[in-house]
């Protein structure tokens, strides 16, 4: 019971979190389309643990056996580290993972990552939500 109460309080805390303004180094909406969610499974071929954003490259095999290399953008290393990621430990080259995110506007094999399901089944956030940094739904000024 105690555990359930703390869980309920914790969930209330997560709801309160929605008021947090996150930093946006660049515009999500200019590069990615929030109306094109994508979930892909594949093998990690390269990880760029770089500022201001990290990148994961993953080989994705389609039903016909054709392999395509996809690029996924995510948080920079400092944010990832605080969120529990450890470089070269949490995710390694060759790991089979699943990435949920949103596709780039040009339709190429490029997307913005959000949640990653790691080889051991654990789910972790690798990038911010759709829409981050593109100005939101309302401009800072009233439209006349």
Partner 1 sequence: MIRTFYFLLAIGLVCSAPVLFAQSKSDFPRGPDGKPDLTGVWQGGSTVRGSWDEANGGLGVGGSGRNPNAPATPASNDRPAGREAAPYQEWAAKKVLESFNKRGIDDPTSLCLPPGVPRAVMLGLYPQKIIQTPKEILILYEYMNVFRTIPLNAKHPDDLLPSYMGDSIGHWEGDTLVVDIIGFNDKTWLAGTGTFHSEDLHITERYTRVDKDQINYEVTMVDPKVFTKPWTLRSTIMLREGTRLEEYVCAENNVDPANYEQLLKAGVKIGR
Which residues of this chain interact with partner 1, rule CB under 8 A?
Answer: 5, 8-10, 12-14, 16-31, 34-35, 37, 48, 50-53, 55, 75-79, 81-84, 100, 102, 105-106, 114-115, 125, 127-144
3-state secondary structure of 47: strand
Shortest approach of partner 1 to residue 100 CB, angstroms?
Answer: 8
Strands 67-74 and 110-117: parallel
Shortest approach of partner 1 to residue 65 CB, angstroms?
Answer: 29
Residue 9 dihedral angles phi and psi, to the nearest 5°: -65, -40
Nearest to 72 by CA among 85, 62, 87, 59: 59
Question: Cβ closer to partner 1: 45 or 76?
Answer: 76
Question: Cβ closer to partner 1: 45 or 63?
Answer: 45
Nearest to 102 by CA among 25, 51, 19, 29: 29
Nearest to 114 by CA among 130, 94, 137: 130
Shortest approach of partner 1 to residue 24 CB, angstroms?
Answer: 4
Question: Cβ closer to partner 1: 64 or 137?
Answer: 137
Shortest approach of partner 1 to residue 49 CB, angstroms?
Answer: 10
């Amino acid at each position: 019971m105690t555990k359930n109460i703390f869980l309920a309080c914790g969930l209330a805390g997560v709801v309160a979190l929605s008021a947090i303004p996150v930093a946006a180094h660049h515009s999500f909406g200019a590069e990615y389309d929030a109306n094109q969610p994508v979930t892909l499974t594949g093998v990690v071929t390269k990880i760029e643990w770089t500022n201001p954003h990290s990148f994961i490259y993953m080989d994705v095999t389609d039903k016909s056996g054709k392999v395509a290399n996809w690029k996924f953008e995510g948080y920079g290393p400092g944010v990832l580290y605080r969120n529990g990621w450890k470089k070269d430990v949490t995710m390694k080259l060759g790991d089979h993972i699943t990435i949920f995110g949103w596709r780039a506007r040009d339709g190429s094999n490029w997307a913005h990552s959000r949640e990653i399901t790691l080889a051991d089944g654990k789910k972790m956030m690798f990038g911010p939500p759709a829409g981050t940094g593109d100005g939101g739904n309302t401009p800072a000024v009233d439209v006349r």
